[in-house]
Amino acid sequence: MVPEFSDIKEIFGNRRWPEVPSKPAWTDLQEGRLPEDSDAVETIAQSIKNGRPILVIGPANRGKTFLMRSFGFRMTQEGWSVRYLDAKDLRSRQAIEAVELAPKSSNERTCFIVEDCHKEVEEAGELLAWASSANLENCGLVFTTRGGSIEELGEPYRSLVDDGNASLLAHRPTETFANQIIRKFCEAIQPAHPDSRFLTPTDMTSLRKIASGPI
């Protein structure tokens, strides 16, 4: 049986962040408890709205999945249906059929996320190559994979990006975003530690102290 794309909500957990830091709940985003790398989310969203697939690259454990959750939530808030698939389950022909059959009107827009493409390079490459020449109006594809730069990517990824047929985002969390994570974390756990002066950081020095070691 060929796995199908799932609703983006299925990659969320059911416990409030940061109880399980790597798997927040959908309600965490609804209630504004999570930090958001808004610049990265906006870059991805603009590529999709312009009809271009986008490849998001970054080293392991640098927040690509966290970013996809933020992006997926943002797009649903704008009326898009967002579907998700781990690349280890990807079969490019079936994925192309799913994209072709997806609603693509101004009232029914669909975005597909294929994550961890390093697990299935050939299949993901075929899908990205197809998407790069397809009419993706009101429909988008986002691919994530491990890598530090375009030079580290193999084919067809490098050529598609170099030729301008696909967008590229080299995801590197900024210091501003890192500080936002710390602030949101402090806000989330502060009710359980109301007397702690460390959980209301007001300057960069305090933030760096929290980030560098245990409170």
pLDDT of the chain along its 215 residues, tens only? 456 899 999 999 999 988 888 899 999 999 999 999 999 999 999 999 999 999 999 998 889 999 999 999 999 999 999 999 999 999 999 999 999 999 888 889 999 999 999 999 999 999 999 999 998 889 999 999 998 887 888 888 888 998 888 999 999 888 888 888 888 887 888 777 777 666 665 555 555 555 555 44
pLDDT at 151: 80
pLDDT at 183: 83
CB atoms within 10 A of CB 101: 9
Q: What domains does the chain contain, in order, with CATH numbers?
A: 6-172 (3.40.50.300), 174-215 (no CATH)
Report pTM.
0.87
pLDDT at 95: 95
pLDDT at 200: 65
**Nearest Cα residue to 37 out of 171, 177, 183:** 177
**Nearest Cα residue to 9 out of 72, 67, 52, 59:** 72
Enclosing H/E stretch for 55: strand 54-58
Distance (Å, whole) CA 196 – CA 207: 14
Distance (Å, whole) CA 198 – CA 153: 42
Enclosing H/E stretch for 206: helix 204-212
